[in-house]
Chains A and B, each alone.
Chain A
Amino acid sequence: MRKKFNTSFKATELGARAAIAAISDHIRAFWLTQDQADGVEIALAEAINNVVEHAFAKAEPGDVRVLCSLRDSQLDIRICDAGVPMPDNRLPPGLAADVSVAREDLPEGGFGWFLIRELTSDLRYDRCGLINHLSLRFDFETLK
């Protein structure tokens, strides 16, 4: 089984919100279970929000392209943008936040890359020329 869906949006918070919801709706129609699709939407949202918040933090929001393809039970999502590269050209480690601390010390952020790493089967980042390519792969044992 093969399915494809591509889209692009302006890298703003509201652009991201609409794109995440639209991509997620399409992916849900790829016969994923509710839980599989929920995991994809969470990881996708964190990856897209990261582009909006960091790649275009100091620049006019550019276009972000998202290419989704499902082949058999493997879903690939590629996110491309012409914003600034990741620090040191590599992905952040995404360690789990420590929550066994006093209330006033609880983390209010830093969950994003942890969630992406937990929910994906493979994660790759490449800087090609002036373009960031982030690939999220999800290997599902079975589909709905």
Chain B
Amino acid sequence: MSLTSTVDGNARIVTVNAERIDAAMAIQFKEDMRLETEQGPDHVILDLSAVSFIDSSGLGAIVASMKQLESHRRLDLAGLTPMVDKVFRLTRMDMVFKLFASLDDAKAAAAG
């Protein structure tokens, strides 16, 4: 399993335990996200701090993970490393997701 998750206050925090979210794991990633977010708080935070590389398939899998949540639930992204951040900005996906520099920042926003 590439993902683990915990509930912290009013958010579910899903941690990616992989260095790369790429074409070889994109389908599994989307399915694992569905399992991790099936239940629990409406607010989901994806902790990407261990991820040093993402490709367009991985980006698509994160978009798909948000789209498979019920429409009133939201997915925020935390701990983007420089390359992951670059991919989100180049594709303008930084306009779609709330990006937080760290998990603590995302948790503070969720609590506030």
Contacts and interface: CB of A to CB of B under 8 A. Distances in A.
B3 to A, nearest CB: 18
A8 B22 CA distance: 19
A115 to B, nearest CB: 6
B59 A111 contact: yes
B71 interface: yes
Interface string B78-96: 0000110011001111011
A111 B83 CA distance: 15
A16 B58 CA distance: 14
Interface stretch (B31-39, B40-48, B60-68): B60-68
Q: Interface range on chain B: under 10, 10 to 19, 20 to 34, or 35 or more?
A: 20 to 34
Q: Interface range on chain A: under 10, 10 to 19, 20 to 34, or 35 or more?
A: 20 to 34
> At the interface, is chain B mostly helix, strand, loop or mixed?
helix
Contacts, number: 83
Contacts of B61: 108
Interface in A88-126: 96-97, 99-100, 103-104, 106-112, 114-115, 118-119
B67 A52 contact: no
Contacts of B20: 17, 21
B95 A13 contact: no
Contacts of B60: 107-109, 111
Interface pairs A-B: 3 shortest CB-CB:
A13-B24, A111-B56, A108-B60
